Structure 1
Amino acid sequence: MKWRITALAAGAAAAAATIGFAGEASAATAPCSAAAKACVQLHTGTAWLVDHGSVLRGGVPITAGKPAFPTPSGTFRVQYKDIDHYSKQFNGPMPYSVFFTTTGVAFHQGSLKVQSHGCVHLSHADAVAFYNSLHPGDVVEVVK
């Protein structure tokens, strides 16, 4: 009888692993190419750290740009990092900034309830992880 319970549990686990939601990327996959080190999916408000297509962290919740300041989609490269950046333009702190466009768009710690001026807001823990994992030249893909 013990083997039967184990077999049933294994079958249930396998079935649960295959159930997903249409149109949403799971934590096990990110909707970006294998070249990406960071992946952002705007319509789900989710980001991942990845290595050769394997998810290292995520999907984690994000907030992105408001309609007047949208986060650009496309393929970018990390430009530079600043652990204690302050935006003079928007008069606010941007801790753990990882800039990935030439126009000032970055991953950084920020509110997950308020849209940004184009940046990708992350929780404190996720911002630290993205800051520590990403380096200049790494590929960042932002998909709609």
Structure 2
Amino acid sequence: MRAIRALAVVLGLALIGGCAHAGATPSAFPGEVPAVRTAPAAAAPPEQPAQVPAAPPTTTPAPATTATTAATTAAPVTTAPRTAPPRTAVVAGLAAGTPCKATVAACVQLSTKKAWLVRDGKAVYGPVPITSGRPGWRTPPGTFAVTFKNINHKSSLFNNAPMPYSVFFNGGIAFHQGSLSVQSHGCIHLSKAAAQTFFSSLSKGSVVQVVA
């Protein structure tokens, strides 16, 4: 038995010696795992600073421009309210366009043989032609008031002579339709159209002025 063990040791040593050929790396001790040769690590490239991606440009919005308009506070202008003169206002003095006062309703001028209707201080109708009283029957000047009207009057003094559209203002003297070529017995003769207008425009109490 001892001889067999001795033989085995001899054979083991021979095998170990025969297996050690070029390129093999024997272990220092039987059964030890041979060291693994590793290639030297390549030198690491110098460390580069981390590339931080550039932040996108930040556009700061311009502050909103608030147009501040200074409110101009003007002092309130006080204007007096316009008041139109009343339609019935009478202009002092003469009625415009006539020789009579502004307060009358009818005007007669004997020298020029003209007559007017007056309202609100001015002539609104005329002048229209007239004839007045003949000698001995002259129409007296003065200021009078209408006493009555009669559209189909007939003269009680002159044989029922027709006096259409009569407007009496001085006793028996009246405006009425009559001849513009023949003088009267004191009345104011008017054309038919004028007599109708005077009759419709004048009323009891209307002021009539007769001037020379």
The alignment's TM-score, normalised by the length of structure 1, stands at 0.79
> What is the 5 A alignment of 1:1-144?
29-91=97-159, 92-101=161-170, 103-144=171-212
C-alpha distance in 1 between matches for 2:148 and 2:209: 16
1:26-83, CA deviations, whole angstroms, 9 ceiling, x for partnerless residues? xx60110011100000000000001132111100000000011011100000000000
Partner SS state of residue 209, structure 2 = strand
Residue type at the aligned position of 2:178? G
C-alpha distance in 1 between matches for 2:120 and 2:110: 21
**Larger-Rg structure:** 2
Give the number of equivalent residue pairs. Answer: 116
Unaligned runs of 5+ in 2: 1-95
Partner SS state of residue 43, structure 1 = coil
Residue type at the aligned position of 1:94? M
Bigger fraction of residues in helix: 1
Residue type at the aligned position of 2:158? F
Corresponding position of 1:18: none
C-alpha distance in 2 between matches for 1:69 and 1:35: 28
Deviation >6 Å, runs of 4+:
none
Residue type at the aligned position of 2:114? T
Larger RCO of the pair (alpha carbons < 8 Å, separation 6+): 1
Residue type at the aligned position of 1:97? S
C-alpha distance in 2 between matches for 1:106 and 1:52: 23
The alignment's TM-score, normalised by the length of structure 2, stands at 0.54
C-alpha distance in 1 between matches for 2:153 and 2:169: 14
CA RMSD of aligned residues (A): 0.8
> Does the CA-based 8 Å contact 1:30-1:39 persist in structure 2?
yes
C-alpha distance in 2 between matches for 1:130 and 1:116: 18
